[in-house]
Structures are given as C-alpha cells and as structure tokens.
Homo-oligomer: A and B are copies of this chain.
Amino acid sequence: MADSRQEPQYKDAVRGELQLLKCAKRLEQFSTGRFRDGHGGSLTRFDVLANLSRAPDRSLPTSELAANLISSQGNITRLLDRMEADGLIERGSHHADRRVSVVALTENGQTSFENMAAEHEHWMGEIFGVLGESETRQLIRLLGKIRARIDAIDEEQA
C-alpha cells in the first residue's frame, strides 16, 4: 500500500474483472430467462433441486443446502417457502434434533428437475461447444485459480 507503483498488469486485471462479471451475468441471464419461460423456475431454484436430487435420499437439512448454494441462510428460508408453495419440495423435521428442518424433493419436484436438467445440459453444450474440450478445461482451470486467490486474500485479512 505504501508503494503505489502502477504495474502494467493492473489494466488487464480490471479488464479481466469486467469481462468475467459481464460474461457471468450474461450466462445467468440466459439460463434464468430460459427457465422462466419454460417452467416457473430460476437458476437458483434449479440449483436447489439439483442438490436435493444428488443427496442420498433426496433430502437435506436446510443448513447443508445453504452451504452448497452460495446464499445466506436467511435467503434460503424464503426461497424454500416459495418452492414449498409450488409443490416442488416438502419440509419435515429431523428425528433427533428438533432445530433442523429437513427439505425433501416431492415427486413433482423430481420430474420438474429432470426436465430442467436435460434442457440445461443441452444449452450449455451449445454454448461451451464454441470452446473446444481443451479450452473449456483451460477456462475451468483459470477460474479455479482466481477463486482460490480470492479465498486466500480474504483469509489473510481475517
């Protein structure tokens, strides 16, 4: 901080950030838009369904969902409220710990998820097809490095 020299790299860094954010926003817009038009869903709802569908008995405590989605606890509550109202999930109680509420996929939620997943995979294939396999893996690798770096910086500060 004492030394405020301008490394040439910095300009590309800001360009990189912009490109990254815009690209992600565009992608999210694309997916959410398609989900909205087809089913009632959004990308986040899809993510919830995907997590539940992968879970051992298609159910998870709320807190584990919150950990997988990058979203705060408080938000999950309302999200699940709406999804429960739409009949995609059900909330039950944990046998041993009365604090936790267990979220389970309904039949309806499961089939809804399967339809969405198939479409979603198709779209992503169309989009990432523009990069070859090796470029896609390259992209994944670079993004991973960025993410790890951010995590590291945040930990330093803490």
Contacts and interface: CB of A to CB of B under 8 A. Distances in A.
A64 interface: no
A109 B43 CA distance: 35
In the complex, the count of this chain's copies comes to 2
Interface residues of A, dominant DSSP: helix
Interface stretch (A54-62, A80-88, A95-103, A119-127): A119-127
Interface in A16-48: 16-17, 19-31, 43
Contact of A28 (B21, B129, B151): B21
B131 A146 contact: yes
Contacts of A74: none
A27 B146 contact: yes
A14 interface: yes
Contacts of A147: 19, 22-23, 26
Contacts of A131: 16, 142, 145-146
A136 interface: yes
Given A10-B124, A23-B144, 16 more contacts: A8-B133, A9-B125, A10-B121, A12-B140, A13-B121, A13-B128, A14-B120, A16-B128, A17-B27, A20-B27, A21-B24, A130-B146, A130-B148, A130-B149, A131-B142, A139-B143
